[in-house]
A and B are shown apart, each in its own frame.
Chain A
Amino acid sequence: MLIGGLLAALLHVMFTRVGLAEVASVFELGLLTLARVLLLLVVATLIWTPIGVAIGFHPRLARLLQPLVLFLASFPANFIFPFATLFFIHSHVPIGWGSILLMALGAQWYILFNAIAGAQTIPSDLREMADDAGLQGLQRWRKLIIPGIFSAWVTGGVTASGGAWNASIVSEVVSWGSTTLTASGLGSYIAEATARGDWPRISLGIGMMSLFVVGFNRLVWRRLYALAETRYHL
C-alpha cells in the first residue's frame, strides 16, 4: 500500500510536470540502454564463459590465475574512466559504443566468477564419463558443459546485468577536462537530471530504469531460473 501510494504520487508529479510525450521518449532511451546491457551480456558470455570453464575444470590453472583475476575484478573501475574517456576522444570512438566498454569494466567479472563456480560444480565422474565416451568440442559443450553450468550462468547474468544498468548512469556521460561525451540513453538522462537537480525527471528516469530491470527479471530471468531448477538440476 505504501509502494502504491508512492507510485501514485510519483506518477502525479511526473505527469503534471513532465508530460506524456517525454515519458514515451524516456522509454525509448531505456530501450537503448537495454540494448547496450544485452550486448554486454552476450559478448561477456562468449569471452569469459570458456575461460571460466577452463579455470573451473583445471584447479592448477585456477591456482595460477586466481590472484590475477581477483586483482582485475577488484580494481576500481572508476579509476580507469578518465583515461578511457581520453582514449575515446582521441580515437573518435562514439560514446554510444564506448559506454558499453565502461559498463563492462565492473559487470563482466560476475560472468567469469559464476562460470568458474558452475564448472566446479559439475561432478568429476560426469566429466570422466564424457572423456570415456569420446565427447568433444561443440557436442561436449551442448550436452555436458552448458546444461551443467546453466544455473550458475543465470546467476552471473542477473548480477552482471544489474551491475551494468547501475553503471550506465556513470558510463553514458563522461568527461575529460572540458570535453564531455554524452550517449543517448537512460543512464545519461538520469545523470543529467541529477546534475540539474530536476526532481521530477530524476524520479521518472529512475522509475523507468526500475521498470526495465524488474520487467526483465520477471519475463526473462525468472523463467531461466525455473528452467535451471527443473531441467538442468544436477
Chain B
Amino acid sequence: MASSTAAPIDLISVDHVSKHFSLPEGKGEFTVLGDVSLAVHRGEVLALLGRSGSGKSTLLRIMSGLIRPSQGEVRSNGLPLRGANPNLAMVFQSFALLPWLTVQDNVELGLAARHVPLAERRERALKAIDIVGLDGFENAYPKELSGGMKQRVGFARAFVLEPEVLFMDEPFSALDVLTAENLRGEIDDLWNAGTFPSKSILIVTHNIKEAMYLADRIVILGSKPGRIRGEVQVNLPRPHNRNHPRFKALVAYIYSVMTNPEIAVTGEPDAYEPVPLAGATPSPSPETAAQRSSGSPFARAPPPRAGGRHQRPRGRAMRSDFFLGIWDDYFPLEEAERQLATAVDWGCYAELFEYDAIEGRLDLPG
C-alpha cells in the first residue's frame, strides 16, 4: 500500500489476476492466467520467463492496461488502473512501426498523442533517436530500415516518453542472433550507466540467457493455466558476467526447472560439487568416492573437457534435453546430440536407466 508521503516501491502491481477466454461455440472457458500476483519494484529489471502459451504476453498486456483481467486488480503507483497506463511504454516484438510515417514521426507519436507542442516534440524525438544510435535516419521510412534499426526506433519511441516503467515484449526475438546480442548489450549498458529513461524495466522473454543477462529478478511462469511457479534472484554484480559460476549454475537450474514442469521452483540451484576427473586426485568426500566405486551413470558425468557439474535427479526421471543443454554449451549441437545418443545407448545397455524416446525422458529403473 502506498502512503501519501513515501514514494511507492511497487510501481506496477497485479493482485490475484486471472484471465479467461470463452471458447467458440460455447465449449466453455479457457483459462490463460490463473490467480497471478506480481509487482514491479522501483529500480529493478524484472524478467517474466515462460514457454509459449504460458500467458506471459497476456500478463504483460494486463499489467499495461491494454487488456482487462477477468478477475483481480491492476495497480499503478498504488492506484487502480483504468485503461492503458500512461506511465509506461511498450517495446513490441514485431516493432509495430507505422509504415506511412517517417522514423521521426513514429518516435514522436506518443508525444503527439499527449499534445506536446511541435518544437518540443521535435527536439525530444531527435534526442531519443540519437540515444539509440539512429542519428541521420530521422526522415527514413520503416521499409528502408533493417530489423535491428526498426527495433531501435521502437526503443526511441518508448524512451522519448520517459516512462516510469519500460515494458518489453520479447523485444529481440524477431532479430538475428548478432543484432539481438548487439542491441541487448546496448540496452544493458544504458541501464548500467544509470541514465536510463525509465525507473524500472519489465521484460517478457522465453530466452533464459537473455533473462539472466538483463534481469535482477526472474519470475518463472508455468502454463495450463498460466501461473507464477516461483522466482529467482540473480544477485550478481552488473553487468552480469556470463562466465560467472553462479550465472551458469542459474542458467542450468532454470533450464531444468523449465523442462520439468512438475518441479517446485525454490529459486536457488542445488549445491553442486564437481565430479572428479579420471586420473585426478580423489575427492575427500566419501559420497563422491562411493559413487565412483558404484560406477556413476555415464549420462551424469560431463565430458572430460568440462569443469565438472553434477545434479541430482528429482524423483526418478530426468529429461534428456537437460544433458543435451549442458553439452551444447561446450560442443556444436551435432556433436552434443551424438554424445547424448552414445551415452543413452550405453546406459540403456548397462541397464542403468530406461529411455523413453517419445517423451525424451530418462527413468531410473525400479
Interface residues of A (CB under 8 A from B): 123, 125-126, 128-129, 131-136, 139, 143-144, 147, 231-234
12 contacts between A and B (CB under 8 A): A128-B92, A131-B84, A132-B88, A132-B90, A133-B89, A134-B110, A135-B109, A135-B112, A143-B98, A143-B101, A143-B109, A147-B98
B84 touches A129 (CB 8 A): no
Residue from B89, B90, B100, B157 with most neighbouring chain A CB atoms (10 Å): B100
Q: CA A131 – CA B92 in complex, angstroms?
A: 13
- Given the known interface contacts A128-B66, A139-B113, the answer about A134 and B96 at a Cβ–Cβ threshold of 8 Å is no
Is A134 within 8 A of B99, CB to CB?
Answer: no
Determine if B94 is an interface residue (Cβ-Cβ < 8 Å): yes
Shortest C-beta distance, B128 to chain A (Å), equals: 14
Q: Which residues of A contact B88 (CB under 8 A)?
A: 132
Q: Which residue of A lies closest to B86 (CB)?
A: A134
Scoring B residues 338 to 363 as 1 if CB is less than 8 Å from chain A, else 0, what string do you get?
00000000000000000000000000
State the CA gap A136–B86 with chains docked (Å).
13
With a CB–CB cut-off of 8 A, which chain A residues contact B113? 133-136, 139
Cα separation A62 to B66 with both chains bound (whole Å): 21
B64 adjacent to chain A (CB < 8 Å):
yes
Q: Are B109 and A232 in contact (CB under 8 A)?
A: no
Contact of B99 among A132, A136, A233 (CB under 8 A): A233
Q: In the complex, are the beta carbons of A128 and B114 less than 8 A apart?
A: no
Which residues of A sit under 8 angstroms from B90, Cβ to Cβ? 128-129, 132
Q: Which residues of B contact A133 (CB under 8 A)?
A: 89, 109-110, 113, 157
> Which residues of the partner chain B approach A232 to less than 8 Å between Cβ atoms?
99-100
**Residues of B contacting A233 in the complex (Cβ-Cβ under 8 angstroms):** 99
B112 touches A125 (CB 8 A): no
CB distance from B198 to the nearest CB of A (A): 14
- Chain B, residues 145-182, CB within 8 Å of chain A (1/0): the string is 00000000000010000000000000000000000000
Does B61 have its Cβ within 8 Å of any Cβ on chain A? yes
Question: Complex formed: what's the CA distance from A126 to B92 in Å?
Answer: 10
Q: How far is the CA of A139 from the CA of B114 in the complex (A)?
A: 11
Min distance, Cβ B355 to any Cβ of chain A, angstroms: 42
**Contact A134–B98 (Cβ < 8 Å):** no
Q: Which of B84, B94, B114 contacts A132 (CB 8 A)?
A: B84
Q: Which residues of A contact B114 (CB under 8 A)?
A: 134
Pair A139/B112 contact, Cβ less than 8 Å: yes
Checking B86, B89, B98, B110 against A126 with a beta-carbon cut-off of 8 angstroms, the contacting residue is B98
Select one of A128, A139, A143, A234 contacting B96, CB under 8 A.
A128
